A and B are shown apart, each in its own frame.
Chain A
Amino acid sequence: MSRILVADDAPEIRNLLKRTLSGHGHTVELAQDGVEAVEKARSWRPDLILLDLAMPRMGGLSACQLIREFSQAPIVVLSVMGEEQDKVRVLDAGADDYVTKPFGAEELMARIRVALRHSAGPPALAVFSCDGLVVDLDARRVTIGGQQVHLTPIEYDVLSYLVTNAGRVLTHSQILARAWGPEYVTELQSLRSFIGQLRKKLGDDAARPHFILTEPGVGYRMRSPDW
């Protein structure tokens, strides 16, 4: 299994995560603040880092920036509700995903699984398939329950970006930069209506979307076939 570094200032959370992750067969190392997290990320070379946002001495954001200078190990951020701005900043700084405390063990393990899979290299996936939605990335063909969906080139770009990162959160600015270019990263309103349109074409209910999930204040996440 994998080597996972856990950085959190609360000893009870550290110990608990160690117990849970060990139970799933991972090897776990602990750090109690950002400084220690950076040191251990360098010396211990973990496969994945769980990083708390609010820590003494050095917070998760600075630690993430420093770690990204020498390591591409996926970073999953532990945060609380109300820290949306910080989440966006740390995701844009190179973190791969986040979970919001209090989180369930299942959700955490799913995030860790997705992050580890993505770090293993670009998905060799040629066809994405989830609950009737099929995106054939080679043929650039999208079907819902066998019915072809007609997408504009830019809609297809966004959808393929989402499905190749299925299960991972993508921030608004990441999607905007990818589909329209870096100068459009503040066009939040346009992105919202654009996603609305895309959901409609995929037969998704705007209030309870099934495929393109909203991460409030942060971005969007494509449903992953394995959860």
Chain B
Amino acid sequence: MLEGMRKLSLDVLLSLLTVGATSLAIGGILSRWPIGNLSLLYILGILALAASRGPAAALMASIEAFLVYDWFFIPPFHTLDVEQPQEWLALGMFLVVSLVAGQAHALQRREAVQAAEHDRHTQLLYDLSNQLTAQDNLGGIFDRMLATLAEGLDLAALKLYVWRDGVRESSGATKWDRKGIDQAAEPHHVPCKLGDHELADLEVFSKAGRLLTADDVRVLQGFANQLANALERRRLEKEEQLNQVLAEANRAKSSLLAAVSHDLRTPLAAIKASATSLLQPEPSFDDAARREFLGSINNEADRLDRLVRNLLDMSRIESGAMTPRLEWHNLSEIAADVIDRLQPVSAGHELQLVAEDREYLSHVDYVQMSQVLTNLVDNAIRHGAPATPIRVQVLDGHLIVENEGPTLSEEEREHIFDRFYRGDGQVAGTGLGLAIAKGVVDAHGGRIWAENTAAGVTFHVQLPIVEPAASTPYTLSPAPSL
């Protein structure tokens, strides 16, 4: 309102000044040369007013010029009367021409300004759209885009809310200038929709005294539409990524199932065939053969138990529930225990324990560490050349499992501890054993790695060196004399 009054007063003042100045010029000219109709000079000023101030100022100037010209320059002077009737015609024509010219010029001018504004807005939208499509991380550029938009449209402030999982989250805003905002007016809402689905919305705060034009709303809606598209695109990209992860997990699960079913079936088949052989009335096997069948049932049951334990461990590691119960244990004792258990199923490999005479105490979970060693030895049995020895060496906080046989390729060395990785596929296995060993060693804060040697492959487990606290119930062996 105030803004309107100010503009009107300025229009009146400027029209009066323009008409006054032109009248003085006409008076000056007429005092030297008796030229006929000089009223056309007013048209120049009126056109200038129309261009700079708009149609209202031009209209006022036209009427003022009409009156002033009649008053000063049409006889009888200093009256609004006219001596000769044809002067009425001239005056009338002047008024019509000045009105039409002024209004037409003002209109054209306004259209030019609007076209320029429109161009600017189009450019603004284009720039914003480029930002939206160029950016992978939308969240990072919301604030900057909102600032660009607010500046381009001369807005007080903009806020963006994005719907995430059914919650409308504030996701960006321009600087908040309390004074510049039209406090009385409610913010204008612009929805960012895709079809009927609202993905986000903009809250638009206009500046005091400045109403949103239709063009402003068009630009805001254009931006909102692009934003909706960008948000949707991002959502689809995320979905696609998730799908890939799920497909990968699914593949891994299938390969695990295939491997597990093979590994479960082999001992089951052996147990079933042994048991049914013993159950058959004919032929009657001798005592040695019967013991072998029973031994095989026993060993295969142990193998099944190890496999089931590995599966459980894997799910524990995956769910982050693998927490070692750390106590002081002698690694040599763990190694000897594992070797004794695996010797009967070592498929012709001799399992050797290489330990120094002194005891090394390590802070480990006994069951888990024996599982690590079991899996490493089992792996060495599977991959070692037939009838070669397998050496388990125990040092201070350091376990070494050595076999003779094919060495690892670069690729195998890189992936050998990955879940479900099964080397070149020549040897059956779930691809779980080494992954579990790594999971357990990691949970102990240690390190596990594989090295090629001249004869085969060596696995190392390095556990962190922790000094036993004074209160430990274990007695340390005396340090070796140097």
A-to-B contact residues, CB < 8 Å: 9-13, 15-17, 19-20, 23-25, 54, 56-57, 80, 82, 101-106, 108
Closest-by-CB residue of B relative to A108 is B273
Of the candidates B261, B270, B272, B293, the one whose C-beta lies within 8 Å of that of A104 is B272
Distance A46 CA – B461 CA, assembled complex (angstroms): 48
Q: Are A12 and B267 in contact (CB under 8 A)?
A: yes
Q: Are A20 and B273 in contact (CB under 8 A)?
A: yes
16 inter-chain pairs at a CB distance below 8 angstroms, sorted by A residue, are A12-B266, A12-B300, A16-B277, A16-B293, A16-B296, A17-B273, A19-B292, A23-B289, A54-B262, A102-B268, A102-B271, A103-B269, A103-B273, A104-B276, A105-B277, A105-B280
Q: Are B273 and A105 in contact (CB under 8 A)?
A: yes
| Shortest Cβ gap from B439 to chain A (Å) | 27
Closest-by-CB residue of B relative to A78 is B269
| Shortest Cβ gap from B256 to chain A (Å) | 15
Q: Are A25 and B283 in contact (CB under 8 A)?
A: yes
The 6 closest A-B pairs by CB, nearest first: A102-B272, A104-B276, A101-B269, A102-B269, A105-B276, A105-B277
* Residue numbers in A under 8 Å from B266 (CB-CB): 10, 12-13, 101
* Residue numbers in A under 8 Å from B273 (CB-CB): 13, 16-17, 20, 102-105, 108
Closest-by-CB residue of A relative to B283 is A23
Q: Quick check: is B426 within 8 A (CB to CB) of the other chain?
A: yes
Distance A139 CA – B166 CA, assembled complex (angstroms): 81
B-to-A contact residues, CB < 8 Å: 261-262, 265-274, 276-277, 279-280, 283, 285, 289, 292-293, 296, 299-300, 303, 345, 347, 425-428
| Shortest Cβ gap from A189 to chain B (Å) | 30
- Secondary structure call for the B interface: helix
Of the candidates A16, A23, A56, A80, the one whose C-beta lies within 8 Å of that of B270 is A16
* Residue numbers in B under 8 Å from A9 (CB-CB): 428
Q: Are B428 and A56 in contact (CB under 8 A)?
A: yes
* Residue numbers in A under 8 Å from B272 (CB-CB): 102-104
| Shortest Cβ gap from A112 to chain B (Å) | 13
Closest-by-CB residue of A relative to B285 is A23
* Residue numbers in A under 8 Å from B268 (CB-CB): 101-102
* Residue numbers in A under 8 Å from B274 (CB-CB): 16
Asked if A12 meets B283 with Cβ closer than 8 Å, knowing A19-B289, A104-B276, the reply is no
Distance A106 CA – B282 CA, assembled complex (angstroms): 10
Asked if A15 meets B296 with Cβ closer than 8 Å, knowing A24-B283, A102-B269, the reply is yes
| Shortest Cβ gap from A88 to chain B (Å) | 19
Distance A9 CA – B296 CA, assembled complex (angstroms): 17
Distance A13 CA – B283 CA, assembled complex (angstroms): 19
| Shortest Cβ gap from B455 to chain A (Å) | 22
* Residue numbers in B under 8 Å from A11 (CB-CB): 347
* Residue numbers in A under 8 Å from B276 (CB-CB): 104-106
* Residue numbers in B under 8 Å from A104 (CB-CB): 272-273, 276
* Residue numbers in A under 8 Å from B292 (CB-CB): 19
Q: Are B428 and A10 in contact (CB under 8 A)?
A: yes
| Shortest Cβ gap from A83 to chain B (Å) | 11
Distance A17 CA – B277 CA, assembled complex (angstroms): 10
* Residue numbers in B under 8 Å from A105 (CB-CB): 273, 276-277, 279-280
Distance A17 CA – B276 CA, assembled complex (angstroms): 12
* Residue numbers in B under 8 Å from A20 (CB-CB): 273, 277
| Shortest Cβ gap from A4 to chain B (Å) | 14
Closest-by-CB residue of B relative to A56 is B426
Distance A220 CA – B267 CA, assembled complex (angstroms): 29
| Shortest Cβ gap from B346 to chain A (Å) | 10
Asked if A23 meets B428 with Cβ closer than 8 Å, knowing A102-B269, A102-B271, the reply is no
* Residue numbers in A under 8 Å from B285 (CB-CB): 23
Distance A16 CA – B276 CA, assembled complex (angstroms): 11
Distance A1 CA – B289 CA, assembled complex (angstroms): 19
Closest-by-CB residue of B relative to A107 is B276
Q: Are B428 and A12 in contact (CB under 8 A)?
A: no
Q: A12-B270, A13-B270, A80-B262 are in contact. List 4 more A-B contacts (CB 8 A).
A: A10-B428, A13-B273, A16-B277, A19-B293
- Chain A CB count within 10 A is highest, among B265, B269, B272, B426, for B269
| Shortest Cβ gap from A151 to chain B (Å) | 38
Distance A108 CA – B425 CA, assembled complex (angstroms): 29
* Residue numbers in A under 8 Å from B293 (CB-CB): 16, 19
- Chain A CB count within 10 A is highest, among B273, B296, B426, for B273
| Shortest Cβ gap from A115 to chain B (Å) | 18
Asked if A56 meets B427 with Cβ closer than 8 Å, knowing A16-B273, A80-B262, A101-B269, the reply is yes
Q: Are A13 and B269 in contact (CB under 8 A)?
A: yes
Closest-by-CB residue of B relative to A101 is B269
- Chain A CB count within 10 A is highest, among B266, B272, B289, B427, for B266
Distance A78 CA – B354 CA, assembled complex (angstroms): 41
Q: Are A57 and B289 in contact (CB under 8 A)?
A: no
Closest-by-CB residue of B relative to A22 is B289
